[in-house]
């Protein structure tokens, strides 16, 4: 069995005084690395924006020991997939204690530079090279969803409001401002029907966990990652559900799920996630579930979305919440692209 031993997350937001190295140094300084015998790093944009590749050597230098370090890139799912790879290595018996870090530094760059870098996670033949952005792709998904279930765009607004309410009390969240549905409607149109307050922000941040074969109170009971055979959105027969997520979740027993962190890069992504995971019925994912706590600290939408850090930060949030409130089963749902790759990490309280 594989257990969660130690956790830490930086604040997520516009961290002007921190570079990529500073974020790595902060998480490593707040984790006991003395027993760590390998490191997995989730990062998407270090080479594209920060001009820093070879993060393995960077991390080993900060820790101060020669270590096997693997950098994992899976777009926005980089952190969750890094957790999966570390879990597999531990299950195989290669290591006893593995440090998983997720990190991203984005806010030093213009919106145009960041948008272009993020768009590289789309298919470069049919999407990226034709100028398609992720807000535009998710807008197509949102429009298809609203049309399919005959819903007004206003259903998206309530999801944004809930996210900001949940982030308000979290001192490490990017936004500490409660908003109303009127605020959402008054925000700038990004790409119809998505407005500014329907979108997660550009963020900096890092998070870390230590996975171990040594028993603790939290077990990483299962970890599943799948990439879709339908990379581009144009390949999909249905834009209102992500088949790769449904296939991945079929490998898990979520009947007693109490808390979930879903990948809400846009509010429509949260809606579809709740339906694909079987938490809400089709056409009802915009409502708040009664039986499962969702994105209790505001998710990506209000808590912030430091791309490579997100999947690991989800694990930190779940571990802290499960230890505080004694939830017995929690799930981290981390997605790369528009449902192009998914990592599901299931935690059990022991």
**Per annotation, catalytic residue among 18, 76, 199, 265:** 76
**Per annotation, catalytic residue among 198, 263, 305, 333:** 305
- Residue 199 appears among annotated catalytic residues: no
Here the CATH number for the domain that contains residue 57 is 3.40.47.10
Answer whether the bond into residue 259 is a cis peptide, omega within 30°.
Answer: no
What is the residue-level pLDDT of the chain in tens, covering all 350 positions? 999 999 999 999 999 999 999 999 999 999 999 999 999 999 999 999 999 999 999 999 999 999 999 999 999 999 999 999 999 999 999 999 999 999 999 999 999 999 999 999 999 888 877 778 999 999 999 999 999 999 999 999 999 999 999 999 999 999 999 999 999 999 999 999 999 999 999 999 999 999 999 999 999 999 999 999 999 888 899 999 999 999 999 999 999 999 999 999 999 999 999 999 999 999 999 999 999 999 999 999 999 999 999 999 999 999 999 999 999 999 999 999 999 999 999 999 99
3-state secondary structure of 287: coil
Establish if 84 belongs to a structural domain: yes
Domain count, the chain: 1
CB atoms within 10 A of CB 269: 28
Establish if 28 belongs to a structural domain: yes
3-state secondary structure of 225: strand
Contacts of 256 (CB under 8 A, 6+ apart): 328, 329
Establish if 208 belongs to a structural domain: yes
Establish if 69 belongs to a structural domain: yes
Tokens representing 47? 């080479």
Establish if 65 belongs to a structural domain: yes
CA distance 299 to 269: 11
Establish if 42 belongs to a structural domain: yes
| Host domain of residue 7 | 3-109+203-212
Establish if 37 belongs to a structural domain: yes
- Residue 305 appears among annotated catalytic residues: yes
Residues in the chain: 350
């Amino acid at each position: 069995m594989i257990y969660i031993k130690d956790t830490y997350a930086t604040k997520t937001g516009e961290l002007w005084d921190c570079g990529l190295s500073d974020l790595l140094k902060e998480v490593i300084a707040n984790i006991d690395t003395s027993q760590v015998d390998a490191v997995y790093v989730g990062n998407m944009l270090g080479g594209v924006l920060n001009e820093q590749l070879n993060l393995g050597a960077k991390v080993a230098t900060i820790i101060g020991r020669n270590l096997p370090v693997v950098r994992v890139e899976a777009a926005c799912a980089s952190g969750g997939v890094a957790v999966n790879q570390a879990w597999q290595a531990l299950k195989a018996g290669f290591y006893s204690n593995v440090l998983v870090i997720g990190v991203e530094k984005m806010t030093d760059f213009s919106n145009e530079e960041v948008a272009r870098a993020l768009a590289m996670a789309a298919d470069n033949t049919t999407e990226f090279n034709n100028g398609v952005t992720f807000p535009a792709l998710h807008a197509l998904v949102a429009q298809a969803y609203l049309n399919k279930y005959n819903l007004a765009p206003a259903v998206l607004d309530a999801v944004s409001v809930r996210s900001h309410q949940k982030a308000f009390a979290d001192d490490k969240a990017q936004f500490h401002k409660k908003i109303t549905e009127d605020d959402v409607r008054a925000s700038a149109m990004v790409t119809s029907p998505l407005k500014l307050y329907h979108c997660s922000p550009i963020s900096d941040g890092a998070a870390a966990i230590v996975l171990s074969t040594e028993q603790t109170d939290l077990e990483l009971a299962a970890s599943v990652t799948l990439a879709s055979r339908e990379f581009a959105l144009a390949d999909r027969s249905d834009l209102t559900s992500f088949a790769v997520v449904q296939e991945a979740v079929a490998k898990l027993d979520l009947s007693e799920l109490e808390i979930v962190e879903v990948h809400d890069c846009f509010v429509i992504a949260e809606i579809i996630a709740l339906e694909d995971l079987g938490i809400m019925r089709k056409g009802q994912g915009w409502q708040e579930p009664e039986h499962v706590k969702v994105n209790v600290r505001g998710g990506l939408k209000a808590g912030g979305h430091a791309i490579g850090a997100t999947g690991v930060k989800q694990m930190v949030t779940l571990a802290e919440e499960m230890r505080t409130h004694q939830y017995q089963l929690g799930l981290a749902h981390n997605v790369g692209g528009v449902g192009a790759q998914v990592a599901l990490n299931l935690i059990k309280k022991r």
